[in-house]
């Protein structure tokens, strides 16, 4: 899949959307090399689509993976996830909260 253009990925995503549950489970094995989880067909399609794009464009960056691991550890330890204090808002960025978008104009 590496080196494929956007249209090729879109075609592959269309193909995956057309598969039945049994075929999706086989596709999971092909892309993840593990048994598929017992999740709905819709979630399998989404996860497989993510995997295709991950293979083509690369996965999450190191800092994002670290943040997710920290969140997962906190969830396992305390059963809750606290807000991330390292969030920094910079002028010119758009922030989303409670379904609303806000343009950050100053620090």
In tens, the pLDDT along 36-89 reads 999 999 999 999 998 988 888 888 888 888 988 988 998 999 888 877 666 565
Domain region containing 22: 6-57
Residue 36 falls inside a structural domain: yes
Three-state DSSP at 73 gives helix
Same domain, yes or no, for 40 and 80?
Answer: no
Strand partners, 97: 100
pLDDT in tens, 11-51: 999 999 999 999 999 999 999 999 999 999 999 999 999 89
Instruction: Identify whether the C-beta of residue 70 lies closer than 8 Å to the C-beta of residue 85.
Output: no
Same domain, yes or no, for 91 and 49?
Answer: no
Same domain, yes or no, for 52 and 11?
Answer: yes
Residue 98 falls inside a structural domain: yes
d(C-alpha 11, C-alpha 83), whole Å? 38
Last residue in a domain, options 40, 57, 74: 57
Residue 10 falls inside a structural domain: yes
Q: Structural domain tally of the chain?
A: 2
Same domain, yes or no, for 90 and 51?
Answer: no
Same domain, yes or no, for 49 and 79?
Answer: no
């Amino acid at each position: 899949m590496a080196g494929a253009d956007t249209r090729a990925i879109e075609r592959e995503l269309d193909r995956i959307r057309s598969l039945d549950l049994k075929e999706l489970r086989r596709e999971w094995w092909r892309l993840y090399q593990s048994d598929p989880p017992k999740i709905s067909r819709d979630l399998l399609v989404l996860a497989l689509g993510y995997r295709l794009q991950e293979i083509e464009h690369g996965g999450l960056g190191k800092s994002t993976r670290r943040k997710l691991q920290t969140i997962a550890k906190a969830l396992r330890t305390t059963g809750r996830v606290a807000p991330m204090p390292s969030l920094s808002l910079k002028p010119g960025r758009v922030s989303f909260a409670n379904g609303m978008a806000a343009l950050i104009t100053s620090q």
